[in-house]
């Protein structure tokens, strides 16, 4: 296998943590998003969507989405389970992970990509250029504030995002918590439940490493 990564970007970080949790060591190719290498003709042949992460399998199959990489690696290496084992666990983890994306990751990305000077004309990932919408950056900020309050409430009810066990929903939540600091959002001093959970997570070798 071969893993196309970018060490500084939040999206491939999600896959990188899964790879480490599964105890895999995979040859890594660094794609420099700072130099727009994801838009190069060479990388477009690997992923026409121009995004990382990408996992290239030994038979040449290309998995170009975080959801794809998570589902593939969970089936290939079931332990430790990150997507649940019982039907109810699988349901809860998939549901919480979807919320981490829809309420957390996408709004924070909206807040960044619709305002950052480095992303003028690049408000959406992918090969097509989309103009920034400043009002959407503001909406993303408002939704981000709501999200981190919700996350703190949730982490007052359960040890991990989806319940008793560490899962892919924690990985998504952790990555958006760090990513949000790019736009001065994220965990505040009032979010004591999130702090308890964050301090637990950073002890994991997959995250600390």
Q: Report CA-CA distances (Å) from 66 to 43, 69, 148.
A: 17, 5, 22
**Gap between the terminal Cα atoms of the chain:** 21
Is 67 or 200 the residue whose CB approaches a copy of itself more closely?
A: 67
The sign of the CA dihedral 156, 166, 105, 6 is positive
Is 13 or 198 the residue whose CB approaches a copy of itself more closely?
A: 13
Q: Report CA-CA distances (Å) from 202 to 24, 51, 57, 118, 209.
A: 19, 26, 29, 30, 9
Q: How many Cβ atoms sit within 10 Å of the Cβ of residue 42?
A: 8
How many whole angstroms separate alpha carbon 168 and alpha carbon 18? 8
Q: How far is the CB of 182 from a copy of itself (least distance, A)?
A: 20
Identify the CA nearest to 170 among candidates 189, 185, 155, 150: 155
Q: How far is the CB of 67 from a copy of itself (least distance, A)?
A: 4
Q: How far is the CB of 15 from a copy of itself (least distance, A)?
A: 12
Q: How far is the CB of 152 from a copy of itself (least distance, A)?
A: 15
Q: Report the interface residues with a copy of itself, using CB under 8 A.
A: 49, 55, 57, 61, 63-76, 83-84, 86-88, 90-99, 106, 123-124, 128, 130-131, 133, 135-136, 139, 142-143, 146
Q: How far is the CB of 80 from a copy of itself (least distance, A)?
A: 16
Q: How far is the CB of 31 from a copy of itself (least distance, A)?
A: 18
Is 80 or 181 the residue whose CB approaches a copy of itself more closely?
A: 80
Q: Three-state DSSP class for 126?
A: coil
C-beta of residue 127 within 8 angstroms of C-beta of residue 121: no
Q: Three-state DSSP class for 2?
A: strand
């Amino acid at each position: 296998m071969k893993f196309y990564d970018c060490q500084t970007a939040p999206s491939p970080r999600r896959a990188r943590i899964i790879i480490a949790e599964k105890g895999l060591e995979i040859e890594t190719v660094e794609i420099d998003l700072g130099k727009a290498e994801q838009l190069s003709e060479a990388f477009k042949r690997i992923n026409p969507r121009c995004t990382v992460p990408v996992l290239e399998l030994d038979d040449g199959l290309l998995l170009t989405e975080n959801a794809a990489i998570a589902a593939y690696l969970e089936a290939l290496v079931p332990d430790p389970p990150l997507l649940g084992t019982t039907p109810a666990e699988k349901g809860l983890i998939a549901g919480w992970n979807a919320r981490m994306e829809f309420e957390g990751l996408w709004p924070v990305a909206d807040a960044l990509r619709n305002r950052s000077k480095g992303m003028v004309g690049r408000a959406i990932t992918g090969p097509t250029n989309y103009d920034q919408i400043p009002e959407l950056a503001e909406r993303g900020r408002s939704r981000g504030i709501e999200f981190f309050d919700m996350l703190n409430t949730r982490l007052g009810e359960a040890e991990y995002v989806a319940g008793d066990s560490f899962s892919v929903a924690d990985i998504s939540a952790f990555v958006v918590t760090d990513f949000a600091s790019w736009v001065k959002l994220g965990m505040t001093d009032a979010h004591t439940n999130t702090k308890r959970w964050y301090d637990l997570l950073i002890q994991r070798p997959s995250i600390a490493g």
